[in-house]
Amino acid sequence: MSTMKEYEAVVPYILLEIQRARSLFPPFHSAHEGYATLLEEVDELWELVKANPTRRDYAAMRKEAVQVAAMAISFIVEVCGAQQPSTSLDRHARVLQADSERAQEER
């Protein structure tokens, strides 16, 4: 099972990808544009995932997964952030934390 440190270790790469993407392209203008960009990145990852497991390029899959994560975060910030107050995200985070704690207790 992966540890939180392993998850935290990839966050800097995702933030660098957001920075790189925003140096090349403007923020999303709409939910449709954000979705289309996210879908494009997921499709690129899917093409790599469909490869024969003995010939998979895990470095390329990691790169595409980082791009998917970066575009998902960009969507949250640029599309949803403008429409929802941060208290909505705070509430969601509290629910996720409570669910996580409950799952830990059940183990």
Q: Give dist(CA 48, CA 64) in Å, integer.
A: 9
pLDDT, position 89: 66
- pLDDT of 92 reads 72
The pTM (predicted TM-score) of the whole model is 0.81
Report pLDDT for 85.
57
CB 74 within 8 Å of CB 28: yes
Residues in the chain, how many?
107
